[in-house]
Amino acid sequence: MTSGRKPVPTVLRDLHGNPGRRPMPAEEPEGVGDLWAPPAYMDEEQREQWNYVVDHAPPGLLTGTDRDILATFVNACVEYQKAVLQVRSMGQVVKTKDGNAIQNPFLGIMNRQALLMKTFGSELGFSPAARASLGSRAPEFSNDAPAGGRGRAVRGSLAAYLELKPDKLDS
């Protein structure tokens, strides 16, 4: 495993204008396909969360290639919500059948799911720091979604964004 900073994807370097003037990679693997409906194995709560995430994802980043990591993020979100409800109803400390006070087991589940959400969310651009790397002045993109607003994978056009980008270096 290599150490150091993660490589910056070409799409982000395009957004920022490559201020360091480092050579752009000749070929970089790109995600393919669209994200449409959630996987068939998901229950109603997971489908609802999937649709919410796809609708609110940073524009133009998610593709069909991201399906499994997105499914993992969605599952972590749903399990986190369930664990939060359990901790609220039972409290952070519970009593065993012997009368000993212990940490609520759902608190550990809640914390683990929060960690997974943070990890996968930053990979998918769902954290403030990840969004900052996309550019803070990104214009509003049109939602080219089918009826019902669900199923769009790529929102807006990268070319349209680059055309409107105020700090374009090539002009």
Residue type, position 166, single letter: P
Choose between 171 and 56: higher pLDDT: 56
Helix (H) or strand (E) holding 77: helix 67-90
What is the tens place of the pLDDT at every residue in 20-62? 777 776 666 666 677 778 999 999 999 999 999 988 887 777 8
- Token pair 């489908």 is found at 47
Q: Which residues contact 31 (CB under 8 A, 6 or more apart)?
A: 62, 63, 64, 65, 66
Q: Kindly tell me if the per-residue pLDDT of 149 is higher than 50.
A: no
- For residue 136, what pLDDT is reported? 42
Choose between 59 and 158: higher pLDDT: 59
Q: What is the mean predicted confidence (pLDDT) over 120-149?
A: 60
- For residue 61, what pLDDT is reported? 77
What is the tens place of the pLDDT at every residue in 111-126? 999 999 999 988 887 8
Q: Which pLDDT band, with edges at 50, 70 and 90, does 132 fall under?
A: low
Q: Kindly tell me if the per-residue pLDDT of 139 is higher than 50.
A: no
Q: Kindly tell me if the per-residue pLDDT of 159 is higher than 50.
A: yes
Choose between 140 and 57: higher pLDDT: 57
The answer to whether the beta carbons of residues 76 and 117 sit under 8 Å apart is: yes
Q: What is the mean predicted confidence (pLDDT) over 138-165?
A: 47
pTM beyond cutoff 0.85: no
Q: Which pLDDT band, with edges at 50, 70 and 90, does 108 fall under?
A: very high
CA distances for 20 relative to 12, 14, 52, angstroms: 13, 12, 36
